[in-house]
Structure 1
């Protein structure tokens, strides 16, 4: 594993800045004089209260629309503000002990990217991938022009941009659409970045495929764990916890070579509170996230049960990328309870930092009930999930544990030392062997 030591303790609070501060969609668009990026600094105490120790930012660089159509990688999007606003946000985050992760788009650029405008007007097209005489696009999106990753100048440019913002205080990069870029490109770029910033953390957005092979070939520290994300909500909705068990076995294999970036929500998917058919199962998803190996990320708003459905249409992301008012505004009692659950389980994760690299092993598996052990060395936690309408009996001696202490759970008082437990209908429990 190549990740920096600080990553062992980080828990990201992920924000999509353009939506968060009401800069996109917006008519008219705000100007740099409004300094909207500074609104994020006003939420950092809230993030710390939640238990986060890192701020994972979506796109903040100049673009025309949603931020992933970059027009200038060296300029803060004027709808958000300017360089001073970026410096202020990073400084305030670091003052609170929070790391900052940037979102870098190096697979494609927007149509207003200077070199593309020149190429389209008859200039040198070598920075861009061509299909015959036509500029190639990313997944058919006309506004996203694919870069030519065989061009050494594109690689050098990417190195320079990544170094520039790390030099301005960022702690790492999420590389957007990394799955669409040849691994050989990253293998050329990332060693040069790390030569100047060896403590930077680099995570690639990868959805399908052999994660371990990609990490090895590209030189990432981590990739996004979409397999586990899908298995969590799908297994809970279908009452098929065998699917979750299979995904956790795969997850163990990944942990042998790298620590994945884990999540149950992000800016590209339907929010977990909308994705799950049973409202109480949001806690089950969170329990899995925070009791398994990985570098966890909480998508802003999920911690208070925000709802939003992603749709495959123009503007289909807007519902999952809303503007935020002030902390705890309008979340209601249910949202407040979900927030407290996040605090409690994040606190448990902090008290057991070994969970970062923990492997899981199944102890009791049915369609509607699942008990697994999370282990790292001599440390163990037992996790029981029940999605049935009836209580689930768990005999600890039968699972190889004479007794255990309840440390968290729905409908169960913590601190009790037990040999037998009944996990409430649609409930969960975390125990520590004694």
Structure 2
């Protein structure tokens, strides 16, 4: 495993800044005045630390046309959020609290207003940046004002795909990464990394690591051969969408066998890298809305925080926010909401889930070997699951009951102490009693 040592202790609090700060949905065509909104995040850093997070994973903060994933200037903070000074202060305040900072880099595609693409539109096929994109020029002689066809990102024509065979593109991405690492960032989430050839990432990351060996790189992968992609690209990690899906789906379908199969797959990934694990992010329906029975939400969080991985908590999920992603323009808005000015303004209804996160994160902090732990299913039925998670000489037993009825589940003799959860240990019977939708994390007494 190539990941920096500090990643072993990271639990990310992921924030989508444009939504969090209530920025306008679109930047507009005219030059925009700088609005200093990034500093709103500073009021929430202590909240993140108290949650138990040790890292701040930022969504896009660079100049863009709309949602941040249509970047127009990779060297400029989006004026809807602020400027370099605001960024520097946020990083300084985060680091002062022991929070690492992860940036979101969109290097598969850019917005149409990206200057190198605008240069192509202005100068035609002979533009020095024409090779940066995969273009289809008409057979007739180019006429100023005419536009070539071009590859885009998954049918979104306002997102212009970069040509990753072009050395100038590799040099550009390398320089952008170094620039912001030099300003204090600790790593990069690479958006749509699955759409970029792994052969592109390998030399780029080698060059960046030559100056910033402690930087962390995690790629967005939704499907595919995760382990192979990590090996070929030299990324430190990828997003574990398989486990995300299995967690909520197994709860909704009362089918712990699906989760068990995913945990077995997860063990295989951990042989070569530590996945980024999550039960919510900026691209999916929130867990509290996805689950058909919200009483089962604690079970999902228990899985997230007791299996191997680098966990990420999406802002608002720690308060059981609801939000449904829809496949339409603006369909992400419900899962990328504005936060109030300060934690004191949050509704009281969400705080029990916040405290649940604290309990489970505290457990994980006391057992740092969980970062690379493997799981073994000890007992399973559709509605009941007992698994052991083990690593570096430590072991915990996790018992889950997704039914509404009380259940008594057998556990190993060593699992005689309740470390977290709501169960009652029965040492004389090597069992734990769980109420409906109950969960327990058990360990050795003493």
Q: Same fold by TM-score, threshold 0.5 exceeded?
A: yes
> Is 1:9 the counterpart of 2:21 in the alignment?
no
Question: Contact 2:340–2:346 at 8 Å: present in 1 too?
Answer: no
Q: SS of the residue aligned with 1:34? A: coil
Structure-2 residue corresponding to 1:81:
82
Structure-1 residue corresponding to 2:103:
102
Q: SS of the residue aligned with 1:170? A: coil
Q: CA deviation at 1:390?
A: 1.5
Q: CA deviation at 1:422?
A: 1.2
Q: Which runs of 5+ in 2 are unaligned?
A: 138-147
Q: 1:171-192, CA deviations, whole angstroms, 9 ceiling, x for partnerless residues?
A: 0000000000001000121100
Q: CA deviation at 1:333?
A: 3.9
Q: CA deviation at 1:130?
A: 2.6
Q: Which runs of 5+ in 1 are unaligned?
A: none
Measure, in 2, the Cα distance between the counterparts of 1:26 and 1:188: 35
Q: CA deviation at 1:420?
A: 2.2
Q: CA deviation at 1:86?
A: 0.3
Q: CA deviation at 1:228?
A: 0.3
Q: SS of the residue aligned with 1:126? A: helix
Q: SS of the residue aligned with 2:159? A: strand
Q: SS of the residue aligned with 1:381? A: strand
RMSD: 1.9
- 1:137 to 1:33, Cα distance in 2 relative to 1, 3 A: closer
Q: 1:256-314, CA deviations, whole angstroms, 9 ceiling, x for partnerless residues?
A: 00000000000000011101111111111110010000000000000001110000000
Structure-2 residue corresponding to 1:230:
245
Measure, in 1, the Cα distance between the counterparts of 2:118 and 2:104: 23
Q: CA deviation at 1:253?
A: 0.2
> Is 1:322 the counterpart of 2:340 in the alignment?
no
State how 1:383-402 maps to structure 2 within 5 Å.
Answer: 383-396=398-411, 400-401=412-413
Structure-2 residue corresponding to 1:61:
62
- 1:415 to 1:119, Cα distance in 2 relative to 1, 3 A: farther
Measure, in 2, the Cα distance between the counterparts of 1:414 and 1:82: 55
Measure, in 2, the Cα distance between the counterparts of 1:192 and 1:417: 59
Q: SS of the residue aligned with 2:49? A: helix
Question: Contact 1:149–1:155 at 8 Å: present in 2 too?
Answer: yes
Q: 1:297-346, CA deviations, whole angstroms, 9 ceiling, x for partnerless residues?
A: 00000000111000000000000001110344564443110011011111
- 1:403 to 1:301, Cα distance in 2 relative to 1, 3 A: closer
Structure-2 residue corresponding to 1:355:
370
Structure-1 residue corresponding to 2:218:
203
Q: CA deviation at 1:418?
A: 7.4
Measure, in 2, the Cα distance between the counterparts of 1:27 and 1:109: 15
Structure-2 residue corresponding to 1:290:
305
Q: SS of the residue aligned with 1:169? A: coil
Measure, in 2, the Cα distance between the counterparts of 1:422 and 1:49: 31
Question: Contact 1:241–1:366 at 8 Å: present in 2 too?
Answer: yes
